[in-house]
Every structure is written in structure tokens, then in C-alpha cells.
Amino acid sequence: MQGDVPITTGGGTFIPADPKRVSLVINSPQVNRVTLSFSPQPVLDVGINMDPGDPALVLSLLEHGDIVKRPIYAISALANQTLSYWGSSCEDVGS
């Protein structure tokens, strides 16, 4: 699974829950800071902050537990932008 998702200054769902997901790679934003959250109402600077130029955020079931399977929400600091991600699920392993 992969995608380019619009992130707004109002916040919203970035990646939906997936009980079969085992890893996620989230690229850093291109324009402005983005805050990732596990709360359906993301708040800027309350969660995982990613700034332009930061390394990609890599989450794995082995290292981070079930947060990889949960929905992730995001909010952009100053302007709407697109954030990219890539993930794998147990269905993808070995194919």
C-alpha cells in the first residue's frame, strides 16, 4: 500500500487503520511542518512533528507495536500539502 494524501491546516485522517499492517514509511513534508497524531482531532505540535528535510519516519510492528496498525491523523502547520507514505501488510510478505 502507498499513497499521497492531502494534509490540511484543519487536520484529518492521514492513514486509516489496518489490522494486517506490519510497517509504515512516512516521508517528510515538502513545504511546512506536519504533526502526526493517533487522536482523531490532531493538534499542531501535539504528537510526532515532521519538518521539511527530516528523514522519513519508519514504523514497524516489531519495533513499535500495534501503533503501526492504528489510524494516523495529521495536521499541517501553515498550508495545505501532500504527504506520502508506503506500508506493507502481512498479505504483502513473501509475495
- Is 94 a member of any domain? no
pLDDT in tens, 7-32: 999 999 999 999 999 999 999 998 89
Number of independent structural domains in the chain: 1
Q: Scanning the structure block, which residue is given the C-alpha cell 490540511?
A: 8
23, 80, 10, 59: CA torsion to nearest 10: 10
Domain range for 64 is: 2-89
pLDDT of residue 92: 52
| pLDDT in the model for residue 84 | 95
Q: What is the pTM of this model?
A: 0.88
- The ranges of the chain with pLDDT < 50 are 95
Within-domain flag for 95: no
Structural contact between residues 82 and 7, judged by C-beta atoms closer than 8 angstroms: yes
In a domain, 17, yes or no: yes
pLDDT score recorded for residue 53: 93
pLDDT value of position 31: 87
pLDDT of residue 79: 83
User: Is residue 26, in this structure, part of any structural domain at all?
Assistant: yes
| Largest Cα–Cα separation, the chain | 41
CATH number at residue 22: 2.60.120
